[in-house]
Structure 1
């Protein structure tokens, strides 16, 4: 196995936008992105639709299994922070009364309010002129 293959694998990566991490914190952004990933699957499959929204559900342990590089308490703190700030909404739609698994969805309006929007005039984005980018000729490597 090459050196690069030890760190760069074919695993599904966790991707997070820097603007999201800046707005909500890195740990929270990673968790939020993972919740979004599962919501997209629920939407695609037409499952977990309750109260007019698609939801995903996991126990803290199941979330921890998706983030093995964090301790269980770090996962709990990230989820709690997102819930306290209103960025995720939790519910309980379990069939068994003793099942305490939380269901999660993202409050997209609340999230959108945290991300700075580009300046628009009359609701229209200003046009940017694209031109040719001139690069220096550095020759052959």
Structure 2
């Protein structure tokens, strides 16, 4: 059984294990900062098994009116393919259904993780900005190896 719940405090060792399991090494280099970012987010939901083990999490940055940005959605690599990411994202889609914009950023399709990520999000009815006549812009990441 998987339990989805909102959380507001975060254990550094637990977060390190989760982020490390998916190779998000820029995050594991400063897990204290990651925990602060989680605590400062609009919403963080987790997926845990019945024993309390953290299986995944999703977090949003939002005004809770017009925009919801899914900053992170990750599931421990040992639990991929079990529907956990789907449950987390479906929860967020329901929670923020009233927002005009529900967006997230993921790896480009040309990256090693890209094709699987794009297929996953498409199965959950998300489409790319350009398919809606929109574009997304951002500042260049100064050093992709750091936060």
TM over 0.5: no
* TM-score, structure 2 as length reference: 0.27
Highest Rg: 1 or 2?
A: 1
Give the helix-richer structure, 1 or 2. 1
Give the strand-richer structure, 1 or 2. 2
* TM-score, structure 1 as length reference: 0.28
